[in-house]
Amino acid sequence: MSVVTAFAGMTRVDPVVFKANCPDCRARFELAASALRLAVGATPRTTFYSFTCPECGEAVRKPAGERIVELLTGGGVRTLRLHSTL
Ligand SMILES: [Zn+2]
């Protein structure tokens, strides 16, 4: 809820859903922005998004390219910026 409030003034407030699939049980589903987390690292290799599969409960983590990062952040997905110590 606080996420929606934070973005209400600057972006569209349409409900945004992202299509995803689970590599574990192969289910396909749609996720709301609040069900996703994005972690942006120093390199594409450490940039990924994650969610919990609604079908099997598996924690899924996938690499996120530039385009996906834009898509997710634009859709109001919570973003965590990682700071590499390397
Ligand atoms: Zn699954």
CA dihedral 25, 30, 32, 37 (to 10 degrees): 40
Determine the Cα–Cα distance for residues 8 and 21; give it in Å rounded to an integer: 28
The pLDDT of residue 6 is above 70: no
- 31 versus 1: the higher-pLDDT residue is 31
Distance, CA 30 to ligand 1 centroid (Å)? 12
Rounded to the nearest angstrom, the distance between the alpha carbon of 86 and the centre of ligand 1 is: 33
pTM of the model: 0.76
Q: Is the predicted pLDDT of residue 86 greater than 70, yes or no? A: no
The structural domains of the chain, with segments of one domain joined by +, span: 2-81
Average the pLDDT over 30-40 and give the result: 96
d(CA 24, CA 56): 8
The radius of gyration of the chain's CA atoms, rounded to the nearest angstrom, is 13
Question: Do residues 45 and 78 lie in contact, with contact meaning Cβ atoms separated by under 8 Å?
Answer: no
Q: 57 CA to middle of ligand 1, Å? A: 6
Confidence band, pLDDT 50/70/90 cuts, at residue 18: very high
Dist. CA 10 → ligand 1 center (Å): 34
